[in-house]
Structure 1
Amino acid sequence: MATMKATGGASPSRKITVLSHVKYEHLVAGISGGVASTLILHPLDLIKIRFAVNDGQTPAPQYQGLRNAMTTIFRQEGARGLYRGVTPNIWGSGSAWGFYFLFYNTIKTWIQGGNTKKPLGPTLHMVAAAQAGILTLIMTNPIWVVKTRLCLQYSEADKTRLPESKRYVGMADALNKIYCNEGIRGLYKGFVPGIFGVSHGAIQFMTYEEMKNTYNQYRMVPIDTKLGSMEYLTFAACSKLLAAALTYPYQVVRARLQDHHHDYKGSWDCVCRTWRYEGLQGFYKGLVPYLLHVTPNICLVFLIYEKFTESS
């Protein structure tokens, strides 16, 4: 009986040790940064998606650059048009950043054995970021499908050309119709390129962490020493630019698979058709508005996150 009690008492202890690495302030900080940046920068995200899915084969509005896209959408669809899909984007960005920071910091702290001053090196930083990215993608992919489709409802006239099952009046309606007409598979369209996109977050976080660590080592202070706002902003921007340059094509493929105006057989079919009709530049459509969107976006997210966790 005593043995059973002793054995039974050890299990909760181990569980508490694992759970002790979970700090929910990372979740709240990530949500705060994601929501704030999305509210400010959503129009650029919408334009990036519209450029990315425009393959020249499917009827879609044609824009002559970023400024023309902004003015055309405002003239034809009003200010509301620039914020199509903002609701799922807020839900998606908030939950994605929240879960990502929560998972990433939990995994990283677990690898460090609870010692935040222990450096991990590039490989382990990438492993932690990749694992966090996959877990986050599983939880948020349906929201990104809805966001993409709402962003691609160009106007009321465009809606009339689509069957009723593909006309959406909001986030809840889109989730319901996609599930009812396409099943779980419809909610997870773009998941495969999204898995490849995990490398984007892994490269970004690895670069960001290594830059912070190297800088603190140069200053001869512990690697978990807090930095100033400009240092956070600089490291966040550099890490995002590097990750975007290396991995952007997956975003084009993912957006096209999620677009209800296209009908691809799968990821490979999308890649082949993009290459056949548009060449290499087809995989980089929307890159300029993407960089203009994500660079200040990531700076805001990381700055809010670092300052939030610093004060908590």
Structure 2
Amino acid sequence: MIPATSNQGTDATGLPAASTVSPEIGTPYSITGRIKEVYSHVKIESLVAGLSGGVVSTLVLHPLDLVKIRFAVNDGLDLRPKYDGIIHCMRNVWQQEGVRGLYQGVTPNIWGAGASWGLYFLFYNAIKAYKKEGRQLELSATEHLISAAQAGVLTLTLTNPIWVTKTRLVLQYHTDPSQKEYKGMIDALVKIYRYEGIRGLYKGFVPGLFGTSHGALQFMAYEELKREYNKYKKMPSEAKLNPLEYITMAAGSKLFAVATTYPYQVVRARLQDQHNKYNGVLDVVRRTWRNEGAVGFYKGMVPNLIRVTPACCITFLVYENMSRFLMGQK
């Protein structure tokens, strides 16, 4: 990396501005150059470790994800099954469709969770390492927040079509396979693209962008909890913790993020639902508020917390240990 001059500009993200100049050659410091420098910090180990954590947690907890989505879109339409609670929903699906019913949409969920966590950790660690290069001080909470938000936008752009197919598959209520609209992930991707175009594959993208604040808040809280805990224990900020400590940090950061940002997930799920038509985010917000009040924006939050908290703990625990193992092997 070519060191920048002391008076170089910075953009809103804290990265060097595109117009900065290399002191060695006196030429504009291009966007391509910045991308190459960020890329130099990319670690494939982060991708593999994040992917592993996402896949393991998804396989264990997918049935709760199915329940969460069914509650989130439950806006009173007659075609939707009626459930009295989490246990009743799971028992009803089990009785009608067996284990296979509880794992509807698991294929895109595995692809989506694996790709999302892998890419997120990949981008986040690369951006964080780039910002930290040449500095003695730790990154601030704001810098962690911005790094995580940037990683979230990049990840969502690549994975949104997978999440649309997962939502569609999870919301197939027919027990007879011949009556289901989609036969699987590939069939759903093809049909959505054929009948709805690229726009169909990117339904929910706008609220998803707001959702990057969820991941950003979670990662900021996770980093700060680890740093303050290690400071309290008088250990280096990147010191390895035991499994219970990682789980505690992950759970605390997830609870903070969910409590802050859950309504966007309801809006996003309803936009992606094939059984109802909305004219955009504002239409979802307006109709949900009019028909269900404030509580409508928090439907499915309890099963979501029950699902995402252990999922987050599993993901971070697998990631931290897998990452350290791979880095050690390297």
Note whether the superposition's TM-score is higher than 0.5. yes
Answer yes or no: is the 8 Å Cα contact 2:37–2:130 preserved in 1: no
In structure 2, stretches of 5+ residues that fail to align are: 1-23
Q: Which residue of 1 aligns with 2:73?
A: 53
Shift of 1:72: 0.4
Aligned to 2:261: 247
Report 1 or 2 for greater relative contact order, CA contacts < 8 Å, sequence distance ≥ 6.
1
What residue ranges of structure 1 are gaps of 5+ in the alignment? Answer: 1-5
Q: Aligned partners of 1:169, 1:191: CA distance in 2, in Å?
A: 24
Does residue 151 (structure 1) correspond to residue 177 (structure 2)? The answer is: no
Aligned partners of 1:151 and 1:14: how far apart in 2? 41
Q: Percent identity?
A: 60
Counterpart residue number, 2:128: 108
Cα contact 1:122–1:210 (8 A) shared by 2: yes
Asked if 1:223 corresponds to 2:237, the answer is yes
1:132 aligns with 2:151: yes
The within-5 A match list for 1:139-288 is 139-156=158-175, 160=179, 167-288=181-302
Residues 292, 14 of structure 1: alpha-carbon distance in 2 compared, 3 angstrom cutoff: closer
CA distance in 2, matches of 1:100, 1:159: 37
Residue 157 of structure 1 and its aligned partner are, at CA, apart by 5.7
Name 1:3's counterpart in structure 2. Answer: none
Quick check: 1:96 aligned with 2:96?
Answer: no
Aligned counterparts of 1:114 and 1:185: Cα–Cα separation in 2: 42
Runs of 4 or more, structure 1, over 6 Å off, are 10-16
Per the alignment, residue 119 of structure 1 pairs with 138
**Is 1:82 equivalent to 2:102 in the alignment?**
yes
CA distance in 2, matches of 1:84, 1:40: 14
Whether the 8 Å CA contact 1:31–1:93 is kept in 2: the answer is: yes
Q: Secondary structure at the match of 2:237?
A: coil
Query: Which letter does structure 1 place at the counterpart of 2:83?
Result: Y
**Quick check: 1:77–1:155 contact (8 Å CA) kept in 2?**
no
| DSSP-derived class of the 2:216 partner | helix
TM-score by length of structure 1 reads 0.91
Label 1:60 to 1:27 Cα distance change in 2 as closer, same or farther (>3 A): same
Q: Which amino acid aligns with 1:153?
A: Q
Q: Could you tell me which amino acid in structure 2 is paired with residue 121 of structure 1? A: S
The whole-number CA distance in structure 2 between the counterparts of 1:79 and 1:97 is 26
Partner residue, 1:39: 59
Check whether the contact 1:21–1:114 (CA below 8 A) recurs between aligned residues.
no
Q: How many residue pairs were aligned?
A: 299
- In structure 2, the CA distance between the partners of 1:126 and 1:159, relative to structure 1 (3 Å rule), is farther
In structure 2, relative to structure 1, the CA distance for the partners of 1:17 and 1:145 (3 Å cut) is: closer
Quick check: 1:297 aligned with 2:311? yes
- Contact 1:193/1:254 (8 A) holds in 2: yes
The 2-side partners of 1:104 and 1:132 are apart by: 5
Which deviations, in whole Å up to 9, do the C-alpha atoms of 1:282-308 show, x marking residues without a partner? 001111110111011000000000001
Aligned twin of 2:83: 63
How far apart are 1:114 and its partner, in Å? Answer: 6.1
Distance in 2, matches of 1:271 and 1:14, equals 39
Could you tell me how far 1:98 is from its partner in structure 2? 0.2
Corresponding residue of 2:43: 23
